[in-house]
Structure formats: C-alpha cells, structure tokens
A and B are shown apart, each in its own frame.
Chain A
Amino acid sequence: METSTQTGPETLVKIRGLRFARGERAIFDGVDLDIPRGKVTAIMGPSGTGKTTLLRLIGGQLHPDQGSIEVDGLEVPELRRSALYALRQRMGMLFQSGALLTDLTVFDNVAFPLREHTDLPEAMIRDLVLMKLQAVGLRGARDLQPGELSGGMARRIALARAIALDPMMIMYDEPFTGQDPISKGALVQLIRLLNDALGLTSIIVSHDVEETAAISDYIYVISQGKVIGSGTPETLRKTDSDWVRQFMQGLPDGPVPFHYPAPGYIDDLLNA
C-alpha cells in the first residue's frame, strides 16, 4: 500500500487509521483504505461489519473518532457545512432502499437534485432527466409513483437520480440485496457501464460475492473493524487467508464460527 498522505490523480478517497465506535462497540479499529480514481472498488464483509457506516463516514454523515478520511483532497470530518454540501454535490449515493421521495413521481425524483442545485430552465431539466432515465432503461416509467416500482426499478431510478448532477463518485450500499436474477444482472451491468462511460469512481459495499467480484477492479474485505484482505478478485480467490477464503467461497464454518458463542452443548441440555 502506498504511503503518501495526499489524494491525487491516482487516489480519490484515502482513509488512514480510521476508528469509529458505537457506544462500547468499536465498528472500525484502524482501517486504511485507498479508493483509486476511475475504478470500481468493492468493500465486502459479513453483515453487521459496518460497511454502510463506512459509506456514511465518507459522505460526512458520521464523524470518525480518530483517523483521516480524505476525498479529492478534502479532509471530510473537518469540512464546514457549506464545503461538505458542495462536496456532496459531487458524490452520489445509492441507498439500499433507493430512498426515493415518496411524494414525488419518478420524473420529479430524478429532477430533484437538478432543481435544488441548479437554475436550469425546465425544458433543459426535462432533457437531462430523460437522458438519465434512458441510461438506466426506465424512461417509460417517468410518470409512475415510487410505490408502483419494484425494488430493482426503484434502485435504478435512484441510480439515475444519483448521476443527475454528473458526480465524480458514486457509492452503492448493498445494490444487489434482495434482487431477482434479472434485476441483479441489470444492476451489475449498469454499475460497470456507468462507471466507464461517465468516468466515475464507484465504491460498492456488498456481501454478494459473485456479482461484486464480477465487476470490481479491487476488493477490500473487512471484518471486526479491520481490513483483513485486499486485492483484485483473482488474487482474493487464490488467497491463503482462511478467513478471506471462507468469505469468498461462502463456507458455513471456519474462522467465523457457525455457532454463536455459547456454553457447552451437552451441559446446556442437561442443565435445564
């Protein structure tokens, strides 16, 4: 891992010595990460390892207890509100639920960031929205309400909204969870396609190994507050770390035990 402390032409997000705790429980304890520009980087790990928390830390919604989070040369935890909001306009985030505004139509949802942050005339907003919707294949769904969309469609609309302001980076929070194979396939393809066509930097947080490995350039595996493995999908598959192998191959037992810590089975049964 490189040792320079500046983000630059190579690296868009640089995290060093990140510590974050919720109450007594440390979610991150000394995490170092580099997100290269123009690439799709995945952050993987079992449920409950704080992957979503990591995205919120990068987006400045949470404050780390220690360590530095640098995005495009800006130290996120130290930014003032206006600077943080200016930075957020350059990053999109796709929430697991889509987080579409339920009182607006699909069209108005995609137009929302444009209307909030630009003074473009309505005709131009219409063109831009239709272009973004076309990119995710849902131009025909523009008049629907969010409640009428399937989960996969909602995520694609949210994706169209996330790219509405042509951000430099998109963060995906569990984009594949709970999707049928067709929607999953569509999302996998879209994430890679948009990344390359729009020159984005993508961060995918996921525990869906197959889908994520298929489109990522680089993968970090985190567990129990630390990065326990990183590399390209190929190198991770061939890893000699038991832990990473268990995760990548989905083995039920290994360093992460199948059983939650408990007193001895026989004792437990006999002590009823």
Chain B
Amino acid sequence: MLEWIRQLGRGGFGFFEKLGRSNLFLLKTLAGIPSVLRRPYLLIAQLLSVGVLSLLLIAVSGLFVGMVLALQGYNTLVDFGAEESLGVVVALSIVRELGPVVTALLFAGRAGSALTAEIGLMKATEQLSGMEMMAVDPIHRVIAPRFLAGVLSMPLLAAIFSAVGIYGGYFVGVGLLGVDDGSFWSQMQSKVDLNEDVYNGVIKSVVFGVVVSWIAVFEGYDTVPTSEGVSRSTTRTVVYSAFAVLGLDFVLTALMFGDY
C-alpha cells in the first residue's frame, strides 16, 4: 500500500516535471523563431515535408468526410422535408468541428509522428549533441523550423479539408441524392457566419496546430535515445495529441458556442 502511494507520488512528480520541461522547451523554441525567419530556407524545407506532403491525405479524408456527412444528414433531414438545408448541415459540421479536429488528428498521425521520430533519431544518433558541440543550437536549427512549419501548416490544411469536405457533401447531396443545387449553396451562404463559424474554426485549427506541433517536437527532443525510446515517443505524440485536441476542442467549443 505504502509502495503504491510512493509510486503514485513519483508518477505525479514525473508528470509535473515533464510539464515544466515542456513549457521551458516551448519558450526556448519560441525564442528560436526569429533566427528561423532570418533563414527562410530552413522553414520552406519543413513546410514541404510537414505541410505539402500531408496535403493528399488531408484532401482525400476531407472529401470522404464531406460525402459521409451528406449521406447521413440527408437521411435525417428528408424525414422532416428539410433536405434543402443539407448544405448548412454539412458546412457547419465541417467548418466548426470536423475540419479543425479531424485535420489535427490526421496531422498528428502523419506529420507529428514523423517529426517526433526524426528528431528522436537525430538525438539517438548524437546529431543534436554533435550540433551543440559545433556551437549550433539544435533548438534554433532543428526544432524551431519544424515547430513553426507545423503551426503554419495546420490552419491551411484545415481550410483545405473544409473546402474539399464541402465539395464532397455537394457531390453526394446534389449529384447523387438530388438536393436542389441553388438551395444547397444559398442556404449555406445565409446560415454560415464568417465571424461566428469560419473564424472560430480557424482559431481552433491554430490552437490545435500549436499544441500538436509542440507535443511532436517536444516528445522527439525529450526521447530516451534508444530505438525503444523513439518508438514510445512516437506513440506518445499521437496519443497525447489526440487527447489534447479532443479535450481542447470541448473547451474551445464551450467558450465559442456555449450560450451561458
């Protein structure tokens, strides 16, 4: 029993210690961002691998999510004779919720895990240590460009996910199920508010971008430098990102759309 309490205490200390380390790490990373902006080629290379190479996954997923939403939405709406509102249902679900959330989850799986594994392996093969001994700060040279690329890519990917998703809904709703073309778009136009819906979705995607990128680069940098350590860190990136995204989504949604 006593041992159990001891273990709990150790675990608690470990958790808060790691939280503290990750916060200090974030501050150092942010301090490294000016040096990245002075050398944009470092950022561009990362934007390619983190952002552009995630594009296909995000676009295809967006298309299917939109198509499924239209199918499900239609089946419910048609009972009430409200199938004209399909455009609104699809657009609001995607722009407010599914766009930022699903993109962040996919982004954590595709780009976040890759970032963690890459940085973790650089640590395991002494590349980060070697840089330090060459008087090059790995946080400025390796971490900051990757973090910034993640933060910039995530909202753009979410926007693309949302746009493609709405088209997916359109193809199924209008093309397959015969919803009226004009009312699909016009209802969407009148009911989706730029401030209330679109901007809030963008804010969510920015927050998720920061959190997922932060988790990914920190887990890589903090990894135990063995193959098992890197594999655990990569798993943790995906798991923690998923928890953080879904938890924060609830908080943000409550703040943005809760009427109280």
Contacts and interface: CB of A to CB of B under 8 A. Distances in A.
Interface residues of B, number: 14
B134 A95 contact: no
Contacts of A99: 125-127, 129-130
A95 B136 contact: no
Contacts of B132: 61, 88
A97 B126 contact: yes
A271 B127 CA distance: 49
B125 A88 contact: no
Interface string B95-134: 0000000000000000000000000001001110111111
Interface range for A: 20 to 34
B134 A88 contact: yes
A97 B225 CA distance: 13
Contacts of A102: 122, 125, 127
B135 A117 contact: yes
A85 B132 CA distance: 8
Contact of A93 (B130, B136, B137): B130
15 contacts: A61-B132, A61-B133, A85-B137, A86-B135, A89-B134, A93-B130, A93-B133, A95-B130, A97-B126, A100-B130, A101-B127, A102-B127, A112-B134, A112-B136, A116-B141
Nearest to B140: A116
A113 B136 contact: yes
B126 to A, nearest CB: 4
A97 B125 contact: yes
A59 interface: yes
Contacts of A59: 133
A59 B137 CA distance: 14
Interface in A150-177: 158, 161
